Amino acid sequence: MRRSMSVSPPPAPASSSPSFAALRLPGFRALAATYLLAMMADNIEHVISYWVAFQKFHSPALGGFAVVSHWLPFLLLSVPVGGLADRVDPRRLIQCGMLLFMTASAGWAWFFITDTLQMWQAMLLLVIHGCAGVLWQGPTQVLLHDVVPGPDLPSGVRLLATARSLGVLVGPAVGGAIMLTIGPRYGLLLNLCFYLPAFLWLWRAPYGPRFRAGAAAVSKRAVRGIGDLLRAVADVRADRRLASMVLLAGLASFFVANSYQAQMPGFARDLGHGDPGTTYSMLLAADAAGALVAGMLMESMGGLLRPAAGTAVALCMCWCLALAGFAAVGSYSAALVLLFLAGVFELSFSAMAQTLVQLHAPDASRGRVIGLFNMSALGLRTFAGFTVGIAGAAVGIHASLAGAALVLFAALVLLRMWLGRGRAAA
């Protein structure tokens, strides 16, 4: 392990490239814009479908299932899809994801228009939506290496994370406006249009294996399932930075992740401030606004924090405290402030972890290593559906979120101690 750490190049300091360096590239601008629209559409669908399903079924367990079904495909399929992204054109995988997203939105629209939505149908659409996400996220991170050259890659990772947060911020506002104007029934038909730009741009975008220099542009090895997983684990174990970031992402996902967002209608009801629909949208927007502000500050200052494993863990610990505070307060204004801070810390630590992984993943197995990171960062969110969602049906969503956040904080203390011992040994 010492040898691996000594020969791997250190992360490029953010100051080595200008602020917003990746935005100078036309390809990245197109990638970020279409990614933003797709993320906005993703969250429009969440806002409308969660709200209508909550009003129809009043089931915290369904909210928990929304988390499980959304992230279980990442747990099962991230590494195989990463292997495919090493083997085939990642553009086509992303387009398949867009088609599944559009299928899910069309399905919700149909059941809302006909007023025939049943519990099992809602569950099926949530599963389709989750499968769409796994075909979208990992291959996009692989494609980013074709669009953005190495020196500007940290800027590209931060800006793509910021685009994600902006989509999460704009999505609830647009979704709320759609519900208030044309209504949820036809609003999700409109939502189909927001996925189309990504699908159409990727059809002819000059990136991917065909456009890479050299004969070894695409790995010729077949996708081998468990073999790919074991190879990715071996690559990660060889570099303490990769291992610590995979562990960090996995712990955050297992205990908390974004499971509290599926329960946000319940938090909005309990806070009892004005119209529940408006309160719900504002709580989601506060979380996303914090992430957006963090991303803009980090990028405008040339990378406010240099990527480092210990720093990422510390930022995640701050995120835990902000979420525990949100779960405990009864004041609407205090809840907004704490969710804003949670968004700041979540974007900061997740973007830093993603940057370290993409900088240090071996070229020959980049898709598989990114797939393993996504399996940890996104797939393990499946279990947060139990720790926050389904447990919330038994002890209450406030107690379940606060308890999960504090348990995660304790686990992060141990991870930081492990990192400290590794630095001392090195």
239 within 8 A of 372, measured Cβ to Cβ: no
CATH label, 22-208+225-425, candidates 3.30.300.30, 3.30.365.10, 1.20.1250.20, 3.30.420.40: 1.20.1250.20
pLDDT for residue 222: 47
Of 1, 86, 159, 135, which is closest to residue 368 (Cα–Cα)?
A: 86
Higher pLDDT, 422 or 334: 334
Flag the least confident range among 13-17, 38-42, 267-271.
13-17
pTM beyond cutoff 0.75: yes
Mean pLDDT computed over 178-194: 88
Mean pLDDT computed over 197-214: 86
pLDDT for residue 216: 46
106 Cβ contact partners less than 8 Å away, ≥ 6 residues apart: 188, 189, 192
Q: Which among 58-62, 99-103, 142-146 has the top mean pLDDT? A: 99-103
Mean pLDDT computed over 275-280: 70
Arithmetic mean of pLDDT over the chain: 83
pLDDT for residue 221: 52
pLDDT for residue 17: 58
**DSSP alpha helices (H): ranges in 205-331?**
226-237, 240-255, 259-262, 264-271, 276-300, 309-328
Q: Is the pLDDT of residue 57 over 90?
A: no
Q: 242-273 pLDDT, tens per residue?
A: 999 999 999 998 888 877 877 787 888 888 76
User: Nearest-5° angle of CA 130, CA 133, CA 138?
Assistant: 135
Q: 377-393 pLDDT, tens per residue?
A: 888 877 776 777 667 66
pLDDT for residue 337: 94
